[in-house]
């Protein structure tokens, strides 16, 4: 592992330097942000009419950049993060010839640079055009895009279908009849005279019938059976208003097999995935509403639903046998990537089913004296055409290891209607906690944050929300996109300046481009690192001991969804809670179809970032660990060096004094007269 001090991820004490002069007697610059609260950071250099459609590290400096869409719905712009000035700066801008629906940054050519796959309006009704803008070696993009076969109106999802670490697409092309699934297989060959990017092929599917993909949908490349290999989750809708899900498990070269199919509750909206109860498996969280306004996108009589993944639990100890009577009963801490063929989601509402919880929205976000009516939920962004889903966002804001939720809650009516982002923290179940039973039983409850969240409360025109880490300082911040009806701009970044006595870890799995970790120079450019080329489907599982010695496991997926402007970061961020130890085991799964598609990293240091490069062919996995040097580090180093010098001087003086005393003693002994000898 390489300790890269050059990566300035900041510290928990300060984000960056401030322009306010400090007292000469105090050598440390003041904090850019002060106060134990959520703080407004404004638009941070992003144009007023910009709509952020995707995140990505476009220049490989390990800072998160933005991809925006202009008000004309055709102009795409890249905003690179400027760490020194703490703003985003526009670097590249170009105009797509058709209306843009979605953009997926990804390294489709395996050269270590992010290309842009654009989903746009097609000349034919009911189709989505697909075009790829290749990254230029000298920066920017080749403005002569490569055309790919169009899709039906349901957007295909990016994933590595055949295990070669190249980004394919899974969905239904416009040329397909009915609901036939197809794969846009990545066949890029840079040496070809006129290279194509995709070839339409049939996926290897077994065990069930294919469905008609819903539009919009929440399809995902995510590990749901626990083997650290991305499966396919599909939202289907054969007839209007009747949605159900399918889970196709990944059997590597044998293809995908239908493992489970079941109905989704009436009024189901966008589905998100996270390990809600921190048991080492990914669960589903989604909203249900009795009705949704087609003009405003606001759902009425909404509830928050959690479907827990029934899987093998974590063994309580490494000495506990994981197999009894020939049957596996738990997963040992050093073998987390073991598939559970009997995994299950049970979405039935029964008294004896604790794996499904439905929580009325008003329980989590209760009415207030200022807004006495029942709250509603924004579930569709109707400022976009066609409207796109607004899922409930999940992220570990307080680093306790349990994901919290961020939703746009709607209160009031008519001209007094407010669309405000509200944050609810995941808490232990006790009496009176939302999401828990009357006697306080349940897996997790939710507590809305009302104190020191003024930047969120002040927003009344939110249309989209996202979690991200601004300036890579190790805290989970928020981005709120607005309609502009308040006259306060169209975008707001909210800095998470709360102090939490807990740890975190960030990680990113790359696509194996430039396997050595350094890409060769081309066309007069210079060597570069492919740090921005993550892809959908990587999986992380870890075990950690808390301060009381209790072991827990958790699972996180890397970019499981990318359709419909999902606004997920290319890296994963997860809290570790309070711990006084290293991460015991960090399992990192890729999508490779090899016997060992994952690795186990032991003793990973908390509050760090891990970059993992899987091998393409016959090579070894490469790992790089980046610690977060704080702004105090140079002064601590100087203090330690000065202390060592002072101690060395003291030791030298004492040594010289001792040497002088020894010399005097020797002289006295040489002048001593032995009278007995006389």
Count of C-beta atoms within a 10 Å radius of residue 625: 15
Pairwise CA distance, residues 419 & 118, whole Å: 30
Measured distance CA(228)–CA(241) in Å, rounded: 33
Residue 9, pLDDT > 50, answer no
Close Cβ partners of 188 (under 8 Å, ≥ 6 residues apart): 108, 109, 110, 166, 195, 196, 197
> Among residues of the chain, what percentage have pLDDT more than 70?
92
ω into 386 cis (within 30 of 0):
yes
- Residue-wise pLDDT for 489-532, tens only, equals 999 999 999 988 899 999 999 998 887 778 887 766 688 889 88
Helix (H) or strand (E) holding 627: strand 622-627
User: And the tokens for 644?
Assistant: 């060592």
Q: In the structure encoding, which two tokens stand for residue 290, read together?
A: 């009795």
Structure tokens given for 409: 């809650």
pLDDT of residue 631: 63
Assess whether pLDDT exceeds 80 at residue 25.
no
Of 226 and 178, the one with more pLDDT? 226
Decide if 287 contacts 406 (C-beta within 8 A). no
**pLDDT tens-place string over residues 37-92:** 999 999 999 999 999 999 999 999 999 999 999 999 999 999 999 999 999 999 99
If pLDDT is split at 50, 70 and 90, which confidence band does 559 have? very high
Cβ contact 570:56 at 8 Å:
yes
C-alpha torsion sign, points 147, 151, 154, 159? negative
Quick one: which H or E segment has residue 262? strand 256-263
Q: Which of 296, 275, 297 is nearest to 284 (CA)?
A: 275
Q: What is the pLDDT of residues 407-429, one digit of tens each?
A: 999 999 887 899 999 999 999 99
Does position 15 have pLDDT exceeding 70, yes or no?
Answer: no
Q: Is 554 helix (H, G, I), strand (E, B) or coil?
A: strand
In degrees and rounded to multiples of 5, residue 414 shows phi and psi of: 60, -135
Please, what is the average pLDDT of the chain? Answer: 90
Beta strands in 188-241 (DSSP E): 198-201, 205-206, 220-222, 231-239
Instruction: Please check whether residue 502 is in contact with residue 551, taking contact to mean a CB–CB distance below 8 angstroms.
Output: no
Q: 182 near 173, Cβ under 8 Å?
A: yes
- Predicted TM-score (pTM) of the model is 0.89
CA distances to 277, 357, 437, 593 from 351, rounded to whole Å, are 19, 10, 11, 41
The CA distance from 480 to 494, in Å, is: 8
DSSP 673: -
| CB of 20 closer than 8 Å to CB of 32 | no
Longest dimension (CA), the chain: 127
pLDDT, tens digit, for every residue of 441-500? Answer: 999 999 999 999 999 999 999 999 999 999 999 999 999 999 999 999 999 999 999 988
Q: Which residues of 4-24 are buried (b: 16+ CB within 10 A; e: fewer)?
A: beebbbbbeebbbeeeeeeee
Residue 225 CB: number of other CB atoms within 10 A?
Answer: 24
8 A C-beta contact, residue 231 and residue 256: yes
Question: 15 or 581: whose pLDDT is higher?
Answer: 581
For 254-261, what is the mean pLDDT?
97
């Amino acid at each position: 592992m390489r300790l890269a001090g050059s990566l300035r991820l900041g510290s928990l004490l300060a984000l960056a330097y401030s322009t306010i002069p400090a007292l000469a007697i105090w050598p440390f610059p003041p904090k850019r942000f002060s106060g134990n609260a959520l703080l407004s950071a404004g638009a941070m250099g992003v144009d007023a009419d910009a709509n952020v459609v995707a995140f990505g590290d476009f220049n490989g400096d390990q800072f998160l950049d933005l991809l925006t869409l202009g008000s004309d719905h055709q102009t795409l712009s890249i905003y690179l993060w400027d760490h020194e000035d703490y703003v985003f700066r526009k670097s590249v801008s170009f105009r797509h010839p058709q209306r843009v629906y979605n953009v997926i940054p990804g390294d489709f050519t395996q050269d270590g640079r992010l290309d842009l796959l654009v989903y746009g309006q097609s000349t034919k009704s009911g189709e989505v055009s697909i075009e790829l803008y290749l990254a230029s070696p000298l920066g920017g993009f080749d403005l002569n895009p490569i055309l790919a076969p169009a899709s039906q109106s349901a957007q295909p999802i990016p994933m590595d279908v055949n295990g070669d670490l190249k980004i394919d697409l899974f969905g239904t092309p416009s040329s397909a009849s009915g609901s036939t699934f197809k794969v846009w297989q990545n066949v890029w060959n840079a040496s070809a005279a006129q290279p194509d990017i995709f070839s339409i092929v049939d996926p290897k599917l077994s065990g069930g019938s294919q469905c008609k993909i819903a539009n919009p949908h929440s399809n995902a490349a995510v590990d749901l059976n626990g083997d650290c290999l991305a499966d396919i989750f599909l939202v289907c809708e054969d007839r209007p208003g009747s949605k159900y899900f399918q889970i196709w498990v990944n059997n590597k070269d044998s293809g995908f097999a239908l493992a489970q199919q079941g109905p989704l509750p009436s009024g189901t909206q966008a589905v998100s995935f996270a390990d809600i109860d921190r048991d080492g498996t990914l669960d589903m969280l989604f909203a249900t509403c009795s009705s949704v306004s087609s003009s405003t996108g606001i759902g009425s009589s909404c509830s928050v639903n959690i479907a827990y993944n029934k899987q093998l639990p974590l063994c309580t100890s490494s000495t506990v046998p994981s197999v009894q009577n020939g049957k596996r009963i738990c997963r040992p801490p050093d073998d987390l990537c073991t598939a559970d063929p009997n995994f299950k989601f049970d979405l039935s509402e029964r008294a004896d089913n604790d794996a499904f919880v439905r929580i009325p929205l008003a329980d989590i976000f209760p009415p207030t004296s200022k807004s006495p009516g029942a709250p509603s939920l924004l579930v569709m962004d109707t400022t976009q055409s066609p409207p796109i889903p607004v899922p409930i966002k999940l992220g570990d804001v307080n680093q306790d290891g349990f994901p919290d939720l961020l939703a746009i809650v709607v209160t009031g009516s008519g001209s007094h209607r407010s669309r405000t982002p509200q944050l609810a923290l995941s808490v232990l179940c006790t009496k009176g906690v939302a999401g828990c039973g009357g006697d306080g039983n349940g897996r997790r409850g939710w507590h809305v944050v009302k104190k020191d969240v003024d930047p969120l409360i002040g927003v009344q025109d939110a249309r989209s929300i996202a979690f991200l880490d601004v300036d890579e300082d190790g805290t989970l911040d928020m981005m709120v996109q607005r309609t502009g009806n308040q006259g306060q701009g169209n975008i707001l970044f909210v800095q998470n300046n709360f102090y939490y006595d807990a740890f975190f870890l960030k990680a990113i799995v790359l696509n194996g481009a430039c396997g050595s970790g350094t890409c060769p120079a081309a066309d007069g450019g210079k060597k570069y690192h492919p740090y921005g080329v993550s892809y959908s489907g990587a999986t992380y599982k870890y075990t950690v001991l808390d301060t009381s010695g209790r072991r827990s496991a958790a699972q996180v997926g890397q970019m499981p969804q990318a359709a419909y402007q999902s606004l997920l970061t290319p890296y994963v961020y997860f809290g570790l809670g309070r711990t006084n130890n290293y991460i015991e085991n960090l399992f990192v799964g890729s999508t490779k179809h090899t016997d060992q598609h994952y690795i186990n990293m032991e003793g990973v240091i908390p509050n760090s970032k891990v970059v993992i490069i899987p091998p393409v062919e016959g090579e070894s996995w490469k790992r790089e660990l980046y610690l977060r040097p704080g702004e105090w580090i140079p002064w601590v180093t100087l203090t330690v060096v000065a202390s060592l010098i002072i101690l060395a001087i003291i030791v030298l003086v004492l040594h010289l004094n001792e040497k002088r005393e020894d010399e005097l003693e020797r002289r006295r002994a040489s002048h001593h007269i032995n009278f007995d000898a006389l």
